[in-house]
Structure 1
Amino acid sequence: MRRSRDSAFVTARSSAPTGAGGALLPARDLAAAWSVVVLITVPAWALTIGQARDMGVEPGTMGMALPLFLVLWVTMMAAMMLPSMAPVALTWVRGIGRQSSGWARTGRTVQFMGGYLLVWTAFGLLAYAALAVSGNLVEDRPTAGRWIGSVAFLLAGLYQLGPLKHVCLRHCRDPLSHLVRYAGYRRPARDLRVGLHHGVYCVGCCAGLMVVLVPLGVMNVAAMAALALVIFLEKLWSRGPLLTRVVGVVFLVLALLAPFQDWLLPGLRGSMPSMGGM
């Protein structure tokens, strides 16, 4: 019975337009939810920029042990992903609005984001392995960096144009049907599970974009900002799917140019000889 009531409740609430948040929750509650996002995102960008300034852009993991890398990775993901994830989190908060008090809703928002970032932490393990392998290859064979960069751009481009990207992006752009289904989950870990599930779709949506951090540099602030903007527009702009395809084509072009243009590979060129020296 509870599941039916929750599903019907979320269906009715989510049928309102996204921009009508004020009618779905009191302004004070929406402000509290947005405050959580801002209080995480702004310090995350500040910490990321400060750490990048200290470390610079170098190949591989830059000598970082896995625990330190994961801390920096999660900070980066919070900075890059939360702005585009916030509308989904707030839609969920609106859906559970009458079932808890303002402070409880804020706590549920935190749980949602915690589950979301937990998925990106797991993806960070794969990112660390990829960076470690590419860094070792570049250290042993400096000229290999050009081909690693080319392959990374190629994989990213093909992924952007592939079916898995399309499926995951469609979920991220229109998650309401999933939120209705999630309303039937049992407490107390319901909000954490919703964040985990949405995080899996988000990783599937953005995995190709993350691949280009190998050639561009994992601590390259300009690249992170550009990718964050692409992610935001893909998910929230009316022409997001078109942008996805355009970015995929751009990556394929960069894959062709990478072996001959060292400036495209700031994250791999630390020990590469210049083209003139070959």
Structure 2
Amino acid sequence: MRLDRKALSPPLRPANLLSARQLAFAWSVMASIALLAWVLVVDQARDMGVEPGTMGMGVPLFLLLWLVMMFPSVAPVALTWARAIGRQSPTGVVRVARTAQFAGGYLLAWTAFGLIAYGLLAWTGALVDEHPGAGRWIGAGAFLVAGLYQFGPWKDLCLRHCRSPMGQLVRYAGFRPRARDLRVGAHHGAYCVGCCWGLMIVLVPLGVMNVLAMAAVAVVIFVEKLWRLGPVFSQVVGVAFLVLAVLSLFRPWLLPGLLPPKSPMTDMLRP
């Protein structure tokens, strides 16, 4: 009796091939959105300069630019979640809707922190206007807090989650179906805030619309999460912040985001 090899061969899975195409398409879409968002940031910052506080931005515009920086970091995990729910949601429309809920929950966590950051910027801006000499102490304090946090246990815990989220995503399967994807995204976003808030507060002394500083912070966040030596790199960044905390007390030009608008130093820094 001869066995039919075709009967023993595993069947082709066109659905998996389609998933690969959909995954590539999703990466392209997210990369395009991130690129367009950064173009918006650069265009908005071009005529604003770098000054203390919120620089007259309202809360909606500030949050829009704030979330632009965080959007690239959600893409890898959002797509991982999309692949994980693929079997539960056979139709593409449902997968897209659930992935959008996940991304929405993630950005919701960062929106909450963005409101806190906006209040902090408004407070520091008002304080520097009244007491220009306070800027160097605020800047040194921000660098000091950010540097020390890079070595803390909470940073390590949150960074480990962000670097290897799969175990946590599996645990999320136990969440109740009602608004599960939104809650999962918010939960993961809370870990991301815990991982990155120290990096974000350095924008207070560097300038919230300092495009170079914003790009540098975004790169640090990306490298910490994806590079094999991310934890070591995180501590190197912490050392750099501690050095800046000391130097900024004697070198005001390291604090462009806290220099009063009418300061001679500010005029020297303007092109």
The two structures have a TM-score, normalised by structure 1, of 0.84
Match of 2:249, SS state, is: helix
Alignment of 1:1-278 (within 5 A): 26-74=19-67, 78=68, 80-100=69-89, 101-271=91-261, 272=263, 274=265
Identity level (%): 67
Between Structure 1 and Structure 2, the one with more helix by share is 1
Match of 2:260, SS state, is: helix
Deviations 1:164-201 (A, max 9, x none): 11110010001111101112223352111111011000
Alignment partners' CA distance in 2, 1:85 and 1:238: 19
8 Å CA contact retained: 1:25, 1:97: no
8 Å CA contact retained: 2:253, 2:265: no
Match of 2:175, SS state, is: coil
CA RMSD, 1 decimal: 2.0
Distance change (3 Å), C-alpha of 1:184 and 1:163: same
8 Å CA contact retained: 2:129, 2:260: no
Task: Choose 1 or 2 for highest CA Rg.
Answer: 2
8 Å CA contact retained: 1:160, 1:247: yes
8 Å CA contact retained: 2:139, 2:204: yes
Deviations 1:8-27 (A, max 9, x none): xxxxxxxxxxxxxx969722
**Structure 2 unmatched runs, 5+:** 1-14, 267-271
Match of 2:87, SS state, is: helix
Alignment partners' CA distance in 2, 1:249 and 1:92: 34
8 Å CA contact retained: 2:110, 2:193: yes
**Structure 1 unmatched runs, 5+:** 1-21
Alignment partners' CA distance in 2, 1:125 and 1:187: 29
Match of 1:259, SS state, is: coil
